[in-house]
Structure 1
Amino acid sequence: MRTLPLLFSYRRCPYAIRARLALWQAGVTVQLHEVSLRDKPAELLRLSPKGTVPVLQLPDGTILDQSLDIMRWALAQHDPDGWLQVAPMAEMLALIARNDGPFKQLLDRYKYAERHPERSAAEWREEAVHTHLSALEARLQAHPCLFGAHGSLADMALLPFVRQFAQVDRAWFDATPALPALRAWLQRGLDLPLFAAVMAQPDRSAAI
């Protein structure tokens, strides 16, 4: 039996980033396996045939292959800043669902606009702002984090996706007058020592 949880991850994947944020925040030590998406290890596919990251195998053999499940499991072990208690769980999960559903679809179309020529990249971007980001902006105009003064499960679950959106056209994102509060929120998240820690290049000697 393994003594540490085994985490299959990919450094830049937003789903994997959110899982690592919660695991590192909770102080959960894992055996980290950085996956090459072009050469997925057989062990990953055995544990989770869908072949996406993150996947966490607990020492008792339990498999968690959804990023939000990994976040909630980790924070159930230790939640030093109360990410799970900042707001009602149903409200946080509803906001995360809008991020993971409609917004993620538009983000992919914006990022890979050449694969979706029915609209221009700018049109996909504007729909993403209208559908999701403008509502986040309104929240953040009222307080520094999505549910008040303190970071929450929702803040950390959404942060990697807003980061990915910003990186598609950083010059536009940095200049747009439509999202100043969201821009400041993103930068505060990126400046966290926790975020720097989870984005550090993994030690490949830990790979199985």
Structure 2
Amino acid sequence: MSSAVNTATPILYSFRRCPYAMRARMALFYAGCALDIREVSLKEKPPHMLACSPKGTVPVLICEGGRVIDESLGIMRWALALNDPDDWLLANDPQAQRDIGALIEENDHVFKRHLDHYKYAVRHPEHSQEHYRDLGAVFLQTLEERLQQRTFLTAEHVTLADIALAPFVRQFCYVDPDWFWQSPYPRLRAWLQRFLESALFMSVMTKPLLGR
């Protein structure tokens, strides 16, 4: 995080297909935040975005008053601190909060690495694409087992965990959809299908204009 010029309406620099940006947009939309969403061309990143967040990755949120949040999970928690009508944070359940944190940690630091190797297997010729898929499928099995116990990952309603993880499971699915939709994870497949058909997801996947 850093500081930036004051802005009357929060600015979100985003990239439509980025899973980190997806989950940030969903939390902001759910919380009812008014936003100036600026779609980024990864080949020509806006100078203002780079001035605010030199690392050059999306999402980047520039809040009223100039505060900059350039991590997706930080943006999600910022939005939910403003408004969380359906209790995505499970505010009165500390154990569930730790559970959510552990799931997101594994997704972001273990599953994401296997996902990248699976998706871009040609860049990692040390092993076959199927090998990388099998490594990622360990996490899919973990999620499947959770969904055998409840409707969503940590509760009987959507929580931060579901929204934080679903864009990455979606990306894993789209590497080889035929494999995924016939995979031995029926509960996970149904969970992802509900997510893809949800009004929340569809609302944040419209194509905005490129940012300034």
Instruction: Assess same fold via TM > 0.5.
Output: yes
Q: How does 1:155-166 map to 2 (within 5 A)?
A: 155-166=162-173
Do residues 151 (structure 1) and 153 (structure 2) align?
no
Amino acid at match of 1:8: Y
Who is 1:170 aligned against?
177
| Cα distance in 1, alignment partners of residues 151 and 194 from structure 2 | 9
| Count of aligned positions | 204
Do residues 38 (structure 1) and 46 (structure 2) align?
no
Amino acid at match of 2:171: Q
Which of 26, 30, 35 is the aligned partner of 1:25? 30
Give unpaired runs (5+ residues) of structure 1.
none
Percent identity, aligned pairs only?
Answer: 51
Amino acid at match of 2:112: K
Do residues 110 (structure 1) and 130 (structure 2) align?
no
Q: How does 1:80-91 map to 2 (within 5 A)?
A: 80-85=85-90, 88-91=96-99
Give unpaired runs (5+ residues) of structure 2.
1-5
Amino acid at match of 1:112: Y
Query: Shift of residue 85 of structure 1?
Result: 1.2
SS in 1 for 2:88: coil
Who is 2:128 aligned against?
120
SS in 1 for 2:148: helix
Do residues 76 (structure 1) and 56 (structure 2) align?
no
| Cα distance in 1, alignment partners of residues 99 and 140 from structure 2 | 17
Q: Deviations over 1:109-128 (max 9, x none)?
A: 00000000111111100111
Query: Shift of residue 203 of structure 1?
Result: 4.0
* Alignment RMSD (CA, Å): 1.1
Do residues 95 (structure 1) and 103 (structure 2) align?
yes
SS in 2 for 1:142: coil
Amino acid at match of 1:189: F
- TM-score of the two chains, using structure 1 as the length reference: 0.95
